[in-house]
Structure 1
Amino acid sequence: MKPKHKVLVFNFLGFAILFVLFRFGLSLFLKLDSFYMSLIAAISASFLAPKYAIVKKEGLDKIVMKWIFFKGFKEL
């Protein structure tokens, strides 16, 4: 699998897992319309999900991750 495709899958999985957790977590505590709960979950998940990218380093493609809970970039 190409690194470009891995990054796309990692970004999607990070967002999707957090979105589902927030969506069902909010439904347990709040009694809002499903649209507003989904909107809140999407905004929260997009802010808290780790971001993956490709960096060309020394002629090689490296996958790096940035997350608000880590300082700097982490190379995978």
Structure 2
Amino acid sequence: MTKLQLKAFVYQLLSFILLFGTFRYVAYNYFHQTGIFISILGFICVTLLGPKFMATKTKEGEKLFMKWIFLKGLREIG
């Protein structure tokens, strides 16, 4: 695993944790239920709406990119 692949993994993990906690909190307060339903709903929302980070090799070398449903195309990070 290269340095940029590790960085992409860490960004992906941090964004998932942050968004999952947010969606889970909002779903809990909105539906007023407990149990696995809230966690599954949060997981599905984060999987569909969360950004995707990837490290790819280009002509200039390895670069870190982000793809998100709310942004058109790929964005280069750093």
Q: Same fold (TM over 0.5)?
A: yes
Q: CA deviation at 1:60?
A: 1.0
The CA deviation string for residues 17-76 of structure 1, in whole angstroms up to 9 with x for no partner, is 110001111111112232000000000011111001111111511000000001100011
Identity %: 32
SS in 2 for 1:33: coil
Letter in 1 for 2:46: A
The more displaced of 50-59 and 3-12 is: 50-59
SS in 2 for 1:70: coil
Map 1:1-76; keep pairs closer than 5 Å: 2-76=3-77
Q: CA RMSD in A?
A: 1.4
Count of aligned pairs: 76
Q: Which runs of 5+ in 1 are unaligned?
A: none
- CA distance, structure 1, for counterparts of residue 39 and residue 9 of structure 2: 22
Letter in 1 for 2:52: K
- CA distance, structure 1, for counterparts of residue 8 and residue 30 of structure 2: 33
Q: Which runs of 5+ in 2 are unaligned?
A: none
SS in 2 for 1:19: helix
